């Protein structure tokens, strides 16, 4: 077969898979919306859904205007670069681009879905008491500038890449970055009214446990694209391995979350089973292509245990995270990144040190930037709704409708 025809066929097959993976990552936004709406109070359902509707819109637009060029720059000093607006160039739509793995436009859209995901992580943690205007200003800056600059340090060929830091699909570059932003937000916002009272932690009832469960399974489905697409081609051997390690880690995460919750709370906790699944998924994301199935199960199991311990620890510190976003994405993102130096084909002391440096550098930049953005907003604009609005619910005051309305015929 003519070499050019073979390359075109390879591009066709690879690009189709990458577009499917992009669609799967896109559906994760519906998963986040369901999880956050299900785990939070009914009086704030519309507010949650509104944020999760506009967040990917902001993410896509900011990534088109500036984010993609920042993350994958032309001129680059290893820390910061800029390459201009979207433009595929002469080879962008041919097999010469990305070794026939995908086209320029597929590249942009796949990466843009990742960018929007980083912001969505913050949404759930700060729910039920943040001003929606302040949240959107934060999202605009965080997704437009902070996320792509940090991402460029590894995925754009920056200094972390040169250091040997490894993050296959974003345990640190997506999940921990979003987790650090969430932590900064809940620290400056403070807990919801009545959350910590008389030395007790009060659990506010979520609006819909079934909806939260549906959301987690949508996220699990989306991870087929999140990790599977990060192979950056339709390579059958590597893609099938990545999907296997991803699913096994999620399954083991569920067992870890249930087991640790049963040990601490003396009950079969569905919430921790669901967050355990997400913990396993986040934990394996940094090294899904490097792990054996057994190692993936170990990483998932440990992640599932860690998410429960982290949630308990945050409550002891009176850091109110409505949906466990910090525990899932930050705690397990850090562990999963460090696990690349402990398990898998790249394990070793040198790799572990590189992973540790990467976690520290990205953490300092993400947390510092998020804290600064939220702090400035707090001083200038305010970031928290009034006590009256928080008590009666954000839906009525900010949106004029309720998420759940029962109409009785008279």
Within a domain: residue 100? yes
* DSSP code for 320: -
Within a domain: residue 57? yes
Within a domain: residue 406? no
Q: What is the pLDDT along the chain (410 residues), one digit of tens a residue?
A: 577 788 888 899 999 999 999 999 999 999 999 999 999 999 999 999 999 999 999 999 999 999 999 999 877 777 777 767 788 888 888 888 888 889 999 999 999 999 988 878 999 999 999 999 999 999 999 999 999 999 999 999 999 999 999 999 999 999 999 999 999 999 999 999 999 988 899 989 899 999 999 999 999 999 999 999 999 999 999 999 999 999 999 999 999 999 999 999 999 999 999 999 999 999 999 999 999 999 999 999 999 999 999 999 999 999 999 999 999 999 999 999 999 999 999 999 999 999 999 999 999 999 999 999 999 999 999 999 999 999 999 998 888 888 887 655 54
Domain that holds residue 210: 3-399
Within a domain: residue 178? yes
How far is Cα 10 from Cα 370, in angstroms, rounded to an integer? 41
Within a domain: residue 17? yes
Structurally, the chain folds into a number of domains equal to 1
How far is Cα 55 from Cα 138, in angstroms, rounded to an integer? 11
> In this structure, what CATH number is given to the domain that contains residue 385?
1.10.3430.10
258 and 308 in contact (C-beta within 8 Å)? no
Phi and psi at 126, nearest 5°, equal -95, 10
Predicted confidence at residue 409, as pLDDT, reads 55
Predicted confidence at residue 132, as pLDDT, reads 95
Within a domain: residue 405? no
Within a domain: residue 159? yes
Within a domain: residue 404? no
CA torsion sign, 382 to 384 to 389 to 393?
Answer: positive
């Amino acid at each position: 077969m003519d070499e050019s025809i073979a390359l075109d066929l390879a591009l066709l097959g690879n690009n189709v898979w990458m577009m499917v993976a992009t669609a799967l990552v896109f559906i994760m936004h519906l998963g986040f919306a369901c999880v956050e709406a299900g785990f939070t109070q009914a009086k704030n359902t519309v507010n949650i859904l509104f944020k999760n509707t506009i967040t990917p819109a902001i993410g896509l637009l900011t990534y088109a205007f500036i984010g993609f060029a920042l993350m994958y720059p032309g001129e680059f000093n290893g820390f910061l670069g800029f390459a201009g607006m979207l433009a595929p160039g002469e080879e962008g739509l041919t097999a010469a681009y990305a070794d026939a793995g995908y086209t320029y436009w597929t590249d942009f859209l796949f990466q843009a879905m990742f960018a929007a995901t980083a912001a969505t992580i913050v949404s759930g943690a700060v729910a039920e008491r943040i001003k929606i205007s302040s949240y959107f200003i934060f999202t605009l800056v965080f997704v437009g500038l902070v996320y792509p600059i940090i991402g460029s340090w590894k995925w754009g060929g920056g200094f972390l890449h040169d250091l040997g830091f490894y993050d296959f699909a974003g345990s640190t570059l997506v999940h921990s970055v979003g987790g650090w932003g969430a932590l900064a937000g809940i620290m400056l916002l403070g807990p919801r009214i009545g959350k910590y009272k008389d030395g007790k932690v009060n659990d506010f009832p979520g609006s819909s446990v079934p909806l939260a469960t549906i959301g987690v399974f949508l996220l699990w489905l989306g991870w087929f694209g999140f990790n599977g697409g990060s192979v950056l081609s339709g390579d059958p051997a590597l893609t099938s391995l990545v999907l296997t390690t991803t699913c096994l880690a999620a399954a083991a995460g569920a067992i870890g979350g249930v087991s640790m919750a049963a040990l601490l709370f003396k009950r079969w906790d569905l919430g921790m089973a669901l967050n355990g699944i997400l913990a396993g998924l986040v934990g394996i994301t940094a090294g899904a292509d490097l792990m054996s199935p057994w190692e993936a199960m170990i990483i998932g199991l440990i992640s599932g245990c860690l998410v429960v311990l982290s949630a308990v620890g945050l409550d002891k510190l009176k850091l109110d995270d409505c949906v466990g976003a910090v525990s899932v994405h930050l705690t397990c993102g850090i562990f999963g990144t460090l696990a690349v130096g402990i398990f898998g084909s790249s394990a070793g002391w040198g790799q572990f040190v590189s992973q540790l440096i990467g976690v520290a550098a990205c953490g300092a930049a993400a947390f510092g930037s998020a804290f600064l953005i939220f702090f400035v907003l707090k001083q200038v604009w305010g970031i928290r709704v009034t006590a009256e609005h928080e008590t009666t619910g954000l839906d009525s005051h900010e949106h004029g409708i309720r998420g759940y309305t029962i109409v009785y015929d008279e």
